[in-house]
Amino acid sequence: MRRDIRTAAAALLILTILLGFGYSLALTGISQVLFGDRADGSRVTDEGRVAGSKLIGQDFSDDDSYFQSRPSASGYAGDATAFSNLGPNSRRLARQLSARADAYLKLEGPYNAGLTRAEIPPDAVMTSASGVDPMISVANARIQANRVAAVREMPVAEVDALIDEHTTGRGLGFLGEPGVNVLELNLALDGVEPR
Amino acid sequence: MTANGWIQIGFYLAVLVALTPLLGRYMARVYTGERVVLTPLLAPAERFFYRAIGTRAESGQDWRSYARSVLVFSALSWLLLYLILRTQGIQPLNPQGFGSAPWDVAFNATSSFVSNTNWQFYGGETTMSYFSQMVGLAVQNFLSAAVGMAVLIAVIRGIVSRGSHDLGNFWVDLTRSLLYVLLPISILGALFLVSQGVVQTLDGYLDVSTLAGGRQGIALGPAASQIAIKQLGTNGGGFFNVNSSMPFENPTALSNFVEVVFILLIPAALTATFGKMVGSARQGWAIFVTMLVLLLVGIGVSYAGEQAGSPAQDAAGITASADGAGSTGGNLEGKEQRFGIASSTEWAAITTAASNGSVNSSLDSYTGVGGVVPLINMLTGEVIFGGVGSGLYGMLLFVLLAVFIAGLMVGRTPEYLGKKIEAKEIKLVMIGTLVVPLLVLVLTAVAISTKWGAVSIFNAGPQGFSETLYAYGSQGNNNGSAFAGYTGFVQPNAPGNAGSFGITFADLLGGFAMLIGRFVPLLAALAVAGSLAGKRIAPAGPGTLRTDNGTFVLLLIFVIVVVAALTFFPALLLGPIGQGLTERLF
C-alpha cells in the first residue's frame, strides 16, 4: 500500500508537470507562432481599434441599418455564455418565440410585402446555443437585405452581393449548414462609400 | 430531414469504420509492448518514467493489486484537483482574478473530472482560472481517460490469460495510454482546432466596443489544448460554459467534424484492439456492430424529432421547413446556425452514446422525441461505445450476461472465448450492470420528491422531471452532458465568480453518484477478469455458442435494450416520452 502511494504520488507529480504545464504551454507557444491571429481570438478591427471577434456574434438590435444577429439568451455576452434551457413544451418559450416573431414581422414586413410567420426562418427567432452565434441563415439574410438596402439607400443587388461574399458554405461542401457572418457583413456595409 | 443531412451522417460512419481497425491494431501493439512508429522516440522517456516512479515494467499484477493501484492513483488525483480548485484564488495565471471554488462545488467538480464524467455545476469562463483549467482540469482529462483504457486492457488480459493471474502492470498501461495514444493525437487535434479558430492564449479577456456602439466582454484562454483531449478522452467538460457550441471551442463545420470523430475514435478502435488481443478480429467487429446499430437508431430518431419541431414553436407559428432557400427549418432553439439540425443531433446522439457529454447544442431545448435519445443512450449504461476503456469493459459485462442467458436457453454451461462463465462471474456481472441503474433511480426519486432537489429544477411540467432524471442518469453513468436548466450552483453576480455558491444537495448527491458510477463497475470488471484469468481455455466444439455472428449481435442488443427498458421505461414515460406525445404547453 505504502509502495503504491509512493509510486502514485511520483507519477502524478511528473504527469502534472508534463500534461499540465508542458503540453498546454508548448501548444500555446506553437499556436502563437503558427496561427497567431486565430489563437488570439480572430479579432476584427474597425478604424484601428479592436471591435470584437469575427467568431463572436454582437448585438445590433438598436440600429436597423444593420443586419440583426440571432436572438441571444445571454445578452450576447462573450464572457458569460449561457443556453436559454427552455424546454420543448415550455409556455414561456412559446410566448418568447411569438413576441420575437411579431417584432421580426414589424421590422422586416414593411420591406418584404406579404411576409408571414410561417416564412420566418427559425434562426431569426430562436436563440442560439452559445448566445453569440456569429451567423444567420441565408434565408434570414435575404429577408433582412431589403430593409438594410432601403435604410442605407443602397441597391438591393449590392447588399445581396455582400451577403454572398460573407456566406460560408458547408464544410467540404456537405458538412454543417451555410451561414452568413453578421459582424463581417455589417463591417463591409459600413465600408461601402456613400453615394 | 434532408439528403445532405444523411450524407453527413453516412460520411461520419464511413470514417469511423475506416479508422477503427487502423488505430485499434496500433493500440494492441502498444499494449503488448511491440514496436510501433513512436517507439524510438518514446521508449527512453518511458524507461526514465518507470525508474522515476519506482516500478519494474516487467512485473505484473493480479487483479487485486491492479485495482489497488487504480484506486490509490485516482484518490491522489482527487486530492490534488480538490486542492487546486480550493486554492485557486492564490494561484498564478488568473487574469480575471477568480476566487477559489466553494467546498461543495469543488467536491462535485473534482469527483466529476477524476471519474471521467466532466459534469459541470460551474461555468468555465466565469469561475475557472487558466491555472485551474490547464493544471487541474486538463490533466485529469488525460489521466481519467488513461485509467479507463488501462483497466480495459487488464480485463482483456484476464479473458485471454491461460491460467496465469497476471493482468499486466497498471503503471505501464497508464503510461503507454498517455504517451503513445492520448498525447500525440491530442497535440495534432489541438493544432488543427487552432487553425480553425479555437483560442489558445494566456491573455486576459477582451472588453471591446462593438460596431453598434455597445460593450462586449470576450473570454479567451488556453482552450484548444484542453478541447482536443476533452473529446479524445470521452471527458466532455467544456472550457466555456456552453461547451462546444461556443465558437471559440468549435468555430466551423470542419472543427465540428473533427471533434465528433475524436469523441468515438478511441472507444470504437478499442473494439478492434480487443479483437486483436483475443486473436479474432471478428469478435471485435461483433461488438462494434452491436454498438453501431444502437447508435444509428439513436441518431435517426433524434434527427427526425428535432427536424419536426417543438410544440412551443408550433404554438408560436414558427413552422418554416428545411428548404433550398437556405434555412434549416426545425427546432433551432439552442442550436447554432453553422451546425444546423443534422450536425447537432448527430453530435447529441454520439456524445451520449460515448460517455463524452460535450454538447454543440442545448439538450434541454430538444423535443421529447429528440431528447429521449440522449437519455436512453446514457441509461443503457454507457456501453454504446461508451467511455474510453470503460465503455468496452462495461459492454463485456453485458456480453457475459448475454452468453449466460443463451446458455440458460440451450441448457449448456455458458462459455466466452473458451472460458467457462460460472456463478461467481455472473454475480459480479450483476453488480457491475445493476448497481448504477439502481443508483440512478433512487437518486432521481430522492431529488424529485424533496424540497432540496426541487430548487435545482428550471423548467415546469414533465421537463422538470426529465432534467432531474437526466442529471442523475448522466452523473451516475459518467457521461456529463446535461439538461442544463438543472443547476447545482447559482451565480447571482456572474461574471466574476463573486457570488458562486453551491446548491449543496445537488453537488453532493451528484458527486457521490459519479464516484460510485465510476468505481463499482470498474472494480466488478476487474474482479471478473481476475476470476476468468485463472481458468483454462476449453477448445471450441460443435456445441459452442458462437459470439462473433449476427445471431449473437441480435441477442446482445436484445439484452442491453431489455435491461434498460425494464429499469427505466416508467421513468422515461413520465418525462420525455410523455412530452413527445403531447402538444400541450406547461
What is the reported pLDDT for B322? 82
Q: b/e string for B17-44 if b means 16 or more Cβ within 10 A?
A: eebbbebbbbbbbbbeeeebeeeeebee
For residues B88 and B101, the answer to whether their CB atoms sit within 8 Å is: yes
Q: Identify the residue among B192, B239, B327 best suited for mutation to test binding to A, counting A beta carbons within 10 A and taking the highest.
A: B327
CB-nearest to A79 from B218, B329, B586 is B218
Would the CB atoms of A174 and B241 count as touching at under 8 Å?
no
CB-nearest to B246 from A46, A130, A139 is A130
Would the CB atoms of B217 and A80 count as touching at under 8 Å?
yes
The nearest alpha carbon in chain A to B250 belongs to A55
Cell readout for B190 is: 489541438
CB-nearest to A128 from B125, B336, B466 is B336
Q: Identify the residue among A15, A125, A177 best suited for mutation to test binding to B, counting B beta carbons within 10 A and taking the highest.
A: A177
Tell whether the model's pLDDT for residue B26 goes beyond 50: yes
CA distance A130 to chain B (A): 5
| Residues of chain A neighbouring B55 (CB-CB closer than 8 A) | 7
- How far apart CA A56 and CA B159 sit, in angstroms, is 51
| Chain Cα centroid distance, residue B201 | 27
Would the CB atoms of B178 and A175 count as touching at under 8 Å?
no
The nearest alpha carbon in chain B to A55 belongs to B247
Q: Is B442 within the bounds of a domain?
A: yes
CB-nearest to B337 from A79, A91, A135 is A135
Mean pLDDT of B17-35: 98
Tell whether the model's pLDDT for residue B300 goes beyond 60: yes
**For the segment A98-121, what is each residue's pLDDT rounded down to a tens digit?**
999 999 999 999 999 999 999 999
- How far apart CA B452 and CA B152 sit, in angstroms, is 38
The nearest alpha carbon in chain A to B218 belongs to A78
The nearest alpha carbon in chain A to B321 belongs to A121
What is the reported pLDDT for B102? 85
The nearest alpha carbon in chain B to A183 belongs to B211
The domain total for chain B is 1
Cell readout for B220 is: 479567451
What is the reported pLDDT for B494? 45
The nearest alpha carbon in chain B to A123 belongs to B332
Position B326 confidence tier, pLDDT thresholds 50, 70, 90 = confident
Q: Is B585 within the bounds of a domain?
A: no
What is the reported pLDDT for B321? 83
Q: What is the residue whose three cell numbers read 471551442?
A: B249
**For the segment B194-222, what is each residue's pLDDT rounded down to a tens digit?**
999 999 999 999 999 999 999 999 999 99
Position B233 confidence tier, pLDDT thresholds 50, 70, 90 = very high
- How far apart CA B336 and CA A176 sit, in angstroms, is 10
Cα of first residue to Cα of last residue in chain A, in angstroms, is 82
The nearest alpha carbon in chain A to B197 belongs to A38
Position B499 confidence tier, pLDDT thresholds 50, 70, 90 = very low
Would the CB atoms of A97 and B319 count as touching at under 8 Å?
no
Position B495 confidence tier, pLDDT thresholds 50, 70, 90 = very low
CB-nearest to B134 from A24, A129, A140 is A24
| DSSP for B177-188, written as a single string | IIIIIIHHHHHH
| DSSP for chain A, written as a single string | -HHHHHHHHHHHHHHIIIIIIIIHHHHHHHHHHHHHHHHTT-EEEETTEEEEETTS----TT-TTSPPPPP-TTTT-BSS-------TT-HHHHHHHHHHHHHHHHHHGGGSTT--GGGS-GGGTSPPSSS---EE-HHHHHHHHHHHHHHHT--HHHHHHHHHHTEE--BTTTBS--EEEHHHHHHHHHHSPP-
Would the CB atoms of A128 and B337 count as touching at under 8 Å?
yes
Q: Identify the residue among B110, B195, B318 best suited for mutation to test binding to A, counting A beta carbons within 10 A and taking the highest.
A: B318
What is the reported pLDDT for B496? 40
For residues B448 and B462, the answer to whether their CB atoms sit within 8 Å is: no
Strands annotated E in B430-506: 489-490, 501-502
DSSP annotation of B110: H
What is the reported pLDDT for B101? 87
Tell whether the model's pLDDT for residue B502 goes beyond 90: no
Would the CB atoms of A90 and B459 count as touching at under 8 Å?
yes
Q: b/e string for B391-427 if b means 16 or more Cβ within 10 A?
A: bbbbbbbbbbbbbbbbbeeeeeebbbbbbebeeebbe
Q: Is B503 within the bounds of a domain?
A: yes
CA distance A53 to chain B (A): 8
Helix (H, G, I), strand (E, B) or coil at B217: strand
The nearest alpha carbon in chain B to A64 belongs to B212
Tell whether the model's pLDDT for residue B293 goes beyond 80: yes
CA distance A28 to chain B (A): 5
Would the CB atoms of B343 and A183 count as touching at under 8 Å?
no
Q: Identify the residue among A21, A44, A126 best suited for mutation to test binding to B, counting B beta carbons within 10 A and taking the highest.
A: A126
Tell whether the model's pLDDT for residue A189 goes beyond 60: yes
Q: Is B38 within the bounds of a domain?
A: yes
Position A193 confidence tier, pLDDT thresholds 50, 70, 90 = low
Q: Is B586 within the bounds of a domain?
A: no
| Residues of chain B neighbouring A187 (CB-CB closer than 8 A) | 211
| Residues of chain B neighbouring A94 (CB-CB closer than 8 A) | 311-313, 315-316, 585
**For the segment A26-50, what is each residue's pLDDT rounded down to a tens digit?**
999 999 999 999 999 999 998 889 9
Cell readout for B355 is: 460517455
Maximum pairwise Cα distance, chain B: 79
**For the segment B301-314, what is each residue's pLDDT rounded down to a tens digit?**
999 999 999 999 99
Query: Which domain range does residue B42 map to?
Result: 3-580
- How far apart CA B470 and CA B379 sit, in angstroms, is 9
CA distance B212 to chain A (A): 6
Given phi > 0 = left and psi -120 to 50 = alpha, else beta, which region is B128? beta
| Residues of chain A neighbouring B222 (CB-CB closer than 8 A) | 24, 27-28
| Residues of chain A neighbouring B365 (CB-CB closer than 8 A) | 83-88, 93
CB-nearest to B320 from A10, A118, A129 is A118
CA distance A3 to chain B (A): 9
How many percent of chain A have pLDDT more than 90? 94
For residues B69 and B171, the answer to whether their CB atoms sit within 8 Å is: yes
Q: What is the residue whose three cell numbers read 447537432?
A: B344
Mean pLDDT of B254-264: 98
Cα of first residue to Cα of last residue in chain B, in angstroms, is 27
Would the CB atoms of A8 and B73 count as touching at under 8 Å?
yes
**For the segment B343-399, what is each residue's pLDDT rounded down to a tens digit?**
999 999 999 999 999 999 999 999 999 999 999 999 999 999 999 999 999 999 999
CB-nearest to B495 from A42, A80, A89 is A80
| Residues of chain A neighbouring B327 (CB-CB closer than 8 A) | 121-123, 137-140
- How far apart CA B310 and CA B325 sit, in angstroms, is 22
Q: Identify the residue among B127, B141, B211, B328 best suited for mutation to test binding to A, counting A beta carbons within 10 A and taking the highest.
A: B211
DSSP annotation of B213: S
Tell whether the model's pLDDT for residue A141 goes beyond 90: yes
**For the segment B27-42, what is each residue's pLDDT rounded down to a tens digit?**
999 999 999 999 999 9
Q: Identify the residue among B333, B359, B581 best suited for mutation to test binding to A, counting A beta carbons within 10 A and taking the highest.
A: B333
Mean pLDDT of A48-61: 95
CB-nearest to A88 from B73, B219, B366 is B366
Length of chain A: 195
Q: Is B485 within the bounds of a domain?
A: yes
Question: What SS3 string covers B226-241?
Answer: HHHHHHHCCCCCCCCC
What is the reported pLDDT for B325? 67
CB-nearest to B218 from A24, A78, A177 is A78
Q: Is the ipTM of this complex over 0.95?
A: yes
